Amino acid sequence: MSIENTEEVVKSKNFIEQIIDEDLESGRFDHVVTRFPPEPNGYLHIGHAKSILLNYGLAEEYNGKFNMRFDDTNPTKEKEEFVDSILKDIEWLGADWEDRMFFASDYFDQMYEYAVKLIKKGKAFVCDLNAEEMREYRGTLTEPGKNSPYRDRSVEENLKLFEEMKEGKYADGEKVLRAKIDMASDNINMRDPIIYRVAHINHHRTGDKWCIYPMYDFAHPIEDAIEGVTHSICTLEFEDHRPLYDWVVNECEFENPPKQIEFAKLYVTDVITGKRYIKKLVEDEIVDGWDDPRLVSIAALRRRGFTPESIKKFIELVGVSKSNSSVDYAMLEYCIREDLKAKKPRIMGVLDPIKLIIDNYPEDQVEYMDVTNNVENEELGVRKAPFCKELYIDREDFMEEPPKKYFRLYPGNEVRLMNAYFVTCTDYKKDENGNVVEIHCTYDPETRSGSGFTGRKVKGTIHWVSARHAIKSEVRLFENLVDEEKGKLNEDGTLNLNPNSLVVREAYIEPSFKDFEGEDKFQFVRQGYFCKDSKDYTDEKPVFNRIVSLKSSFKLPK
Under the rule (CB under 6 A), what is the footprint of ligand ATP? 37-39, 47-48, 50-51, 234-235, 265-266, 273-276
Q: How far is the CB of 22 from ligand ATP (least distance, A)?
A: 22
Number of residues that bind Mg ion (CB under 5 A): 1
CA distance 137 to 153: 17
50 binds, among ligand ATP, Mg ion, none (CB under 5 to 8 A by kind): ligand ATP
- Give SS3 for 277: helix
Q: Is the CB of 295 or the CB of 547 nearer to Mg ion? A: 295
Q: How far is the CB of 39 from Mg ion (least distance, A)?
A: 5
276 binds, among Mg ion, ligand ATP, none (CB under 5 to 8 A by kind): ligand ATP
CA distance 450 to 421: 10
Q: Is the CB of 38 or the CB of 214 nearer to ligand ATP? A: 38
235 binds, among Mg ion, ligand ATP, none (CB under 5 to 8 A by kind): ligand ATP
- Which residue number places its CB atom closest to ligand ATP? 47
265 binds, among ligand ATP, Mg ion, none (CB under 5 to 8 A by kind): ligand ATP
Q: Is the CB of 88 or the CB of 151 nearer to ligand ATP? A: 88
Closest to 313 (Cα-Cα) out of 340, 274, 343, 345: 340
Q: Is the CB of 176 or the CB of 320 nearer to ligand ATP? A: 320
CA within 13 Å, CB half, 111 = 27
Q: Is 544 left (phi over 0), alpha (psi -120 to 50) or beta?
A: beta
CA distance 558 to 556: 6
Helices (H) and strands (E) in the chain, counts: 13, 27
Q: How far is the CB of 53 from ligand ATP (least distance, A)?
A: 10
Q: Is the CB of 37 or the CB of 308 nearer to ligand ATP? A: 37
Q: How far is CA 392 from the centre of its chain?
A: 36
Q: How far is the CB of 7 from ligand ATP (least distance, A)?
A: 23
Q: Is the CB of 267 or the CB of 554 nearer to Mg ion? A: 267
Q: How far is CA 55 from CA 253, 320, 460, in A?
A: 26, 11, 50
Q: How far is the CB of 286 from ligand ATP (least distance, A)?
A: 17
Site string for Mg ion, 209-228 (x = CB under 5 A): --------------------
38 binds, among ligand ATP, Mg ion, none (CB under 5 to 8 A by kind): ligand ATP
145 binds, among Mg ion, ligand ATP, none (CB under 5 to 8 A by kind): none
Q: How far is the CB of 229 from Mg ion (least distance, A)?
A: 18
CA distance 137 to 78: 31
Q: Is the CB of 271 or the CB of 371 nearer to ligand ATP? A: 271
CA distance 115 to 210: 15
Q: How far is the CB of 228 from ligand ATP (least distance, A)?
A: 18
353 binds, among ligand ATP, Mg ion, none (CB under 5 to 8 A by kind): none
The residues in 28-47 that bind Mg ion, with binding defined as CB under 5 A, are 39
- Three-state secondary structure readout of 103-146: EHHHHHHHHHHHHHHHHHCCCEEEECCCHHHHHHHHCCCCCCCC
Q: How far is the CB of 143 from Mg ion (least distance, A)?
A: 29
Q: Is the CB of 274 or the CB of 450 nearer to ligand ATP? A: 274
CA distance 526 to 497: 28
End-to-end CA distance of the chain: 8
Q: How far is the CB of 77 from ligand ATP (least distance, A)?
A: 10
CA distance 193 to 211: 19
Q: Is the CB of 274 or the CB of 319 nearer to ligand ATP? A: 274
For 155-219, give the DSSP string.
Answer: HHHHHHHHHHHHHT-S-TTT-EEEE---TT-SSGGGSS-EEEEE----BTTTBTS-SEEE-HHHH
Is residue 436 within 8 A of residue 354, CB to CB? The reply is yes
- Which residue number places its CB atom closest to Mg ion? 39
List residues near Mg ion by CB under 5 A.
Answer: 39
